[in-house]
Structure 1
Amino acid sequence: MKFFQSITRRALGGMLLAVLVSQSALAAEIRVVTSGAFTEAYKQLVPIFEEASGHKVISSYGASIGNAPDSIPSRFARGEKFDLVILSEGGLEALMSAGKLVPGSRVDVVRSQIGAAVRKGTPKPDISTVEALKQTLLEAKSVAYSASASGTYLSSELFPKLGVQDRLAQTGKKIYSERVGAVVARGDAEIGFQQVSELIYFKELDFIGTLPAAVQQTIFFSAGMVEGAQEPQAARHLLTFLTSPAVANIVRATGLDPVNHRAALTSK
């Protein structure tokens, strides 16, 4: 992996020189806030961008939705300043409707699916079919799920659909301001559900798999330009890089599916 990444850095550095030919000679500080699903890919890609472009990216993290103090909606509500935001499509549209983002600036970055994991060395329950998933949820002593986009789908749509909401009212744990995997890893929940990209990096966990296709929710994680951004041009260059085909392999390795872009990003 390190060898691949070193090659990738050189290749991407050359690509960036072509992509960023119109950038200002002055280095910019780009303020970005991103939600959890894209975090692992983001953390790998940003240093490559910084090295090749000369810009500095100042990063913040938070859930796409909800009222936790570090959630993205809460950060905007208290006036934190950003140039670019990356979060679930529903969260982005809410910010767009509230006038926080530049109209028409949405760019879908990746697709993400929901998966499940247990603590390493513990039994792996079956979630391969809808009926098996239902039985696993009924039998689990504790089930952790996110307070953000994936958990909202589980608690408001999937659990009622499967008829397990009464059981989950007793055993379910909605997790705020940390990853579900951390809760499962320390033994505070028997099984955890969250975006695949947020589970697969925990060495203390065994990843079980994704939800069955019939009840899976594929979520787009999308970016938007923030109204009043101090560095809009540099932020657009960063977004061009994050959605470039050149970075697709890195994105896939973090459990996400890149969204292909043939149209140029808005210059607004």
Structure 2
Amino acid sequence: MNETHEAITVISSMATRHVLNDLADAYTQRFGQRVTVKSVGGVAAARRVEEGEAFDIVVLAADAIAKLAAAGRVDAASRVGIARSGIAIAVAAGASRPSVDTEAAVRNAVLAARSIGYSTGPSGAHLMRLFERWGIARTIASRLVQAPPGVGVGALIARGEAALGFQQTSELIGVDGIDVIGSMPNEIQAMTVFEGAVCANARAPRGAKSLLHFMSQPDADAVKHRYGMEAAL
């Protein structure tokens, strides 16, 4: 099926690492083809592909994939929706749980928090826009804690560096030392679509397309749901 007996290589942002690792294992079990997934900060992943580092597949937020396609770093025709994810909210395990059921409640929780953790990814960008729209950006600026690339907001919360944290649901589920208290209310939720594409310098382009097809099929939905994600529409 594939051009090589070597592993199909995938690079992704941290948000999809659990889903991709499980789907890679399932693909290997079904077809006998090894797959390796390297998950790093999204900005770093895009930069490595832009600089020509050899991978077969890259999985990132759709806007990042679009930029790589425009730059000729991925095969635009190979783009496939993998999953989509919303933003969840968490506090330290056992800590008081503020109400987050409405936009006003989330705003109040942010204003009351000793420190607020957010990511370098799409969820963090969305939060910054919300804080500006709410008129509280300057008020809370000194209490904002951005997770370094490749570090989850959940880790900041567990270590006591952030009292309230926001990140993709998939990155908060299952993190020790935190409680996920809910998802962003619908009126301020932001769903990020993650796409996969075959890299321009892929060593196994046919195998990469086969793996992308496998990851986008309904059979893969259960794995996505396990980590708080949904099939891409």
TM-score (norm 1): 0.82
1:76 partnered with 2:49: yes
Corresponding residue for residue 169 of structure 1 = 141
Deviation beyond 6 Å, 4+ runs, structure 1: none
Q: Secondary structure at the match of 2:200?
A: coil
1:50 partnered with 2:20: no
- Contact (CA 8 Å) 2:194, 2:232: kept in 1 or not? no
- Contact (CA 8 Å) 1:28, 1:234: kept in 2 or not? no
CA distance in 2, matches of 1:24, 1:113: 34
Which structure 2 segments of 5+ residues have no match? none
Question: What RMSD in Å do the two structures reach over aligned CA positions?
Answer: 1.5
Corresponding residue for residue 74 of structure 2 = 101
Q: What amino acid sits opposite 1:114 in the alignment?
A: I
Q: What amino acid sits opposite 2:113 in the alignment?
A: A
Counterpart mapping for 1:108-123 below 5 A: 108-123=81-96
Counterpart mapping for 1:115-194 below 5 A: 115-155=88-128, 157-176=129-148, 177-194=150-167
CA distance in 2, matches of 1:24, 1:142: 49
Residues 67-122 of structure 1: per-residue CA shift (max 9 Å, x gap): xxxx2123224432111011111111121122211122211111110111011011
Q: Percent identity?
A: 30
TM-score (norm 2): 0.94
CA distance in 2, matches of 1:132, 1:103: 41
Between the two proteins, the alignment pairs up a number of residues equal to 232
CA distance in 2, matches of 1:181, 1:251: 19
Between structure 1 and structure 2, the one with the greater Rg is: 1
1:33 partnered with 2:11: yes
Q: What amino acid sits opposite 2:199 in the alignment?
A: V
CA distance in 2, matches of 1:190, 1:139: 10
- Deviation of 1:24 after TM superposition, in Å, equals 4.4
Residues 125-161 of structure 1: per-residue CA shift (max 9 Å, x gap): 1111111111111111100100111111211x11111
CA distance in 1, matches of 2:4, 2:14: 31
- Deviation of 1:225 after TM superposition, in Å, equals 1.1
1:63 partnered with 2:35: no
CA distance in 1, matches of 2:39, 2:126: 21
1:200 partnered with 2:173: yes
Q: Secondary structure at the match of 1:82?
A: coil
Q: Which has the higher contact order (CA 8 A, sep 6+)?
A: 2
- Deviation of 1:184 after TM superposition, in Å, equals 0.6
Q: What amino acid sits opposite 1:53 in the alignment?
A: F
Say if 1:138 and 1:198 are closer, same or farther in 2 by CA, change over 3 A.
Answer: same
Which structure 1 segments of 5+ residues have no match? 1-22, 66-70, 261-268
